[in-house]
């Protein structure tokens, strides 16, 4: 164990016990071995599209286990609550949830490690995942619209683990001496990277981008990644630098970025 132990936490999850040890030690300021900068657009059809043209397919771990999970949940609901059979059924449900979480976490760790190792600066969209995945059910006085479709979209968004993806990227870049720059997400998929024309009609389909002004065509997710990279370059030129806010600092940082004149609306 390196350093002085400062905190030891014992926890239980999915029927297994874990010990986490936090230590403190002096380390030199790291210098990132890479020099590349990349923009990343996250999505559902493609988990992540990089501005260099490569992309990462989604894992969709919840979707793969959804049918089995629902079957065990139905079996659990038919048991007498807190009976031995109910506890056994509950353990099976918890085991599947743990499996889903572990597979997703493993996928995110491998993905973020590969991106962090190869890029000194990573530009991402400043997505508010909690707001994006809010329920559309509304209330009895003001019922929502397309509730079932929105519910399916919310499950797909949460299944990707975008917030955890960003968290892992940020601390791994700190470890390696790199940076993560979060840029405003508005119109990244509607702005033409060739002429700068912004229009909802540019996004012809979920996958196809076609500028109605200059005729530029490309994959819509790739266009988003290119625009994220371009906005990252602008923030660097303005001297804003890396964005690593805590939860309490996010509103102030967001205001700072919105006020920055180098970012196009």
Q: Which residues are annotated as catalytic?
A: 41, 125, 221
| Pick from 188, 202, 178, 171: nearest CA to 126 | 188
The neighbouring-strand residues paired with 208 are 219
Question: How far is it, in rounded angstroms, from Cα 208 to Cα 227?
Answer: 15
Please, what is the Cα angle at 169 between 165 and 171, to 5 degrees? 120
Place of tokens 């499996």: 99
Residue among 208, 171, 213 at smallest CA distance from 192 = 213
* Number of other CB atoms surrounding residue 195 within 10 Å: 12
**Measured distance CA(110)–CA(104) in Å, rounded:** 10
Residue pair 203/190 in contact (Cβ under 8 Å)? The answer is yes
With beta carbons less than 8 A apart as the criterion, state whether 106 and 165 touch: no
3-state secondary structure of 191: strand
- Backbone phi, then psi, for 68, in 5-degree steps? -65, -40
Pick from 185, 173, 252: nearest CA to 225: 185
């Amino acid at each position: 164990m390196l350093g002085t132990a400062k905190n030891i936490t014992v926890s239980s999850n999915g029927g297994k016990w874990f010990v986490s040890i936090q230590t403190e030690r002096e380390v030199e300021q790291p210098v990132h071995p890479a020099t590349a900068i990349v923009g990343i657009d996250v999505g559902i059809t493609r988990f992540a599209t990089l501005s260099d043209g490569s992309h990462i397919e989604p894992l969709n771990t919840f979707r793969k286990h959804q049918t089995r999970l629902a079957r065990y949940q139905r079996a659990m609901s038919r048991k007498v609550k807190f009976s031995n059979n109910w506890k056994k059924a509950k353990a099976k449900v918890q085991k599947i949830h743990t499996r889903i979480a572990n597979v997703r976490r493993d996928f995110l760790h491998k993905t973020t490690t590969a991106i962090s190792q190869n890029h000194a600066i990573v530009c991402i969209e400043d997505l508010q995942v909690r707001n994006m995945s809010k329920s559309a059910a509304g209330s009895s006085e003001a019922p929502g619209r397309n509730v079932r479709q929105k519910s399916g979209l919310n499950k797909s968004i949460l299944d990707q683990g975008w917030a955890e993806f960003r968290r892992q990227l940020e601390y791994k870049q700190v470890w390696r001496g790199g940076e993560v720059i979060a840029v405003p997400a508005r119109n990244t998929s509607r702005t033409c990277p060739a002429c700068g024309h912004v229009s909802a009609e540019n996004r012809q389909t979920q996958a196809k981008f076609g500028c109605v002004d200059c005729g530029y065509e490309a994959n819509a997710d790739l266009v988003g990644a290119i625009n994220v990279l371009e906005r990252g370059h602008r923030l660097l030129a303005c001297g804003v630098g890396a964005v690593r806010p805590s939860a309490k600092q996010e509103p102030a940082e967001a205001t700072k970025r919105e006020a920055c004149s180098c970012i196009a609306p």
